[in-house]
Amino acid sequence: MKTDTLSKDTIVSNVIRQMNSGLEIEPITIPKALTSAAHILFMLGHTTESGLAGQVSARGEDPDTYWTQQWGTGFEEVTENNLLLVDGDLTVLKGKGMANPAARFHSWIYRNHPDVKCILHAHPLNVSALSMLEIPLVVSHMDTCVLHDEVAFVEKWPGIPVGNGEGKLISAALANKKTILLAHHGMLVTGGSVEEACVLAVMFERAAKLQLMALASGDIKPIPHDLAAEARDWISTPQRHRATFAYYSRLAEREIKKLMH
């Protein structure tokens, strides 16, 4: 082999370069990506049991605006045509209907975290169960290392998130992290793109499920920080997020089509 003397760092760099230049993924609009993200979360059971709880959103082109779903619409019912463009007060600027009033805390996060382009919030089963224990999410598996050092924690439930106080609290608790576990509530993930946020949301629920299963059998052993950081950086490239998101999207669209027939 011509590469058998290369260092691991060199191999990783070469592979990332190949992915960036040779992996062709068709670009999609923000409304299309947000629709796919909603369908993906539905497919993976993040919303089915919790009814209309949860919101998807992504920044609009104009300042202080973002796209989100209509109140009363399930994640599997989201389409590019029924998304709403709202301002920070949840006033509808484009589309019909009203936004979920609980989306108010999205406004606070967008205002205070300019790098955030997408917010996904849901109450998936395993995250919800873990949130009842008032303990942080533990990242201790290679797949979930995308979340390494990226999970904040609100230990005490502040009540329903429809007021400004809850928005300020969640936005401040998020700090410089990308995701947050909300005690007695659920999860919130952010991303520099819809694709990144969706991948983090999928892995967040998987991490919670693994944590609950592992705790039932014994003590969870930590991953060394440097190895977890290495795995996070390997998984967390924009092209990797786009490729993973595209795969999830194909799966979700097949499931949605099954429901329609």
Domain assignment present for 49 = yes
| Structure tokens given for 110 | 């967008």
Percent of the chain with pLDDT over 90: 78
pLDDT tens, residue by residue, 192-240: 999 999 999 999 999 999 999 999 999 999 999 999 999 999 999 999 9
Domain assignment present for 239 = yes
Tell me the residue range of the domain where 52 lies: 26-253
Range from 6-15, 77-86, 167-176, 246-255 carrying the lowest mean pLDDT: 6-15
Domain assignment present for 3 = no
Scanning the structure block, which residue is given the tokens 């949130």? 131
* Identity of residue 146: V
| Structure tokens given for 115 | 């790098």
Residue 11 pLDDT > 70: no
Sequence-separated (6 or more) residues with CB below 8 Å from residue 255: 39, 42, 43
User: How far from each other are the two terminal CA atoms of the chain, in whole angstroms?
Assistant: 51
Residue 109 pLDDT > 90: yes
Contact 53, 100 (CB under 8 A): no
Domain assignment present for 19 = no
Domains: count for the chain: 1
Task: Out of 19-28, 46-55, 205-214, give the one with best mean pLDDT.
Answer: 205-214
| Structure tokens given for 197 | 């946020």
Within 10 angstroms of residue 64's Cβ, the number of other Cβ atoms is 13
Domain assignment present for 11 = no
* Confidence category of residue 21, pLDDT binned at 50, 70, 90: low
User: CA 24, CA 18: separation in Å to the nearest integer?
Assistant: 11
pLDDT at site 169: 94
DSSP per-residue string spanning 4-51:
TT--HHHHHHHHHHHHHHH-------HHHHHHHHHHHHHHTTSSGGGT
Domain assignment present for 9 = no
pLDDT tens, residue by residue, 120-178: 999 999 999 999 999 999 999 999 999 999 999 999 888 777 778 889 999 999 999 99
User: CA 125, CA 121: separation in Å to the nearest integer?
Assistant: 13
Q: Is 48 left (phi over 0), alpha (psi -120 to 50) or beta?
A: alpha
User: CA 200, CA 192: separation in Å to the nearest integer?
Assistant: 11
Which CATH number goes with the domain that contains 128?
3.40.225.10
pLDDT at site 242: 94
Domain assignment present for 54 = yes
Domain assignment present for 80 = yes
- Across all residues in the chain, what is the average pLDDT? 92
Residue 51 pLDDT > 80: no
What's the average model confidence in pLDDT over 58-67? 96
- Which uninterrupted H or E stretch holds 153? strand 151-154
Residue 22 pLDDT > 70: no
Sequence-separated (6 or more) residues with CB below 8 Å from residue 219: none
* Confidence category of residue 38, pLDDT binned at 50, 70, 90: very high
pLDDT at site 70: 96
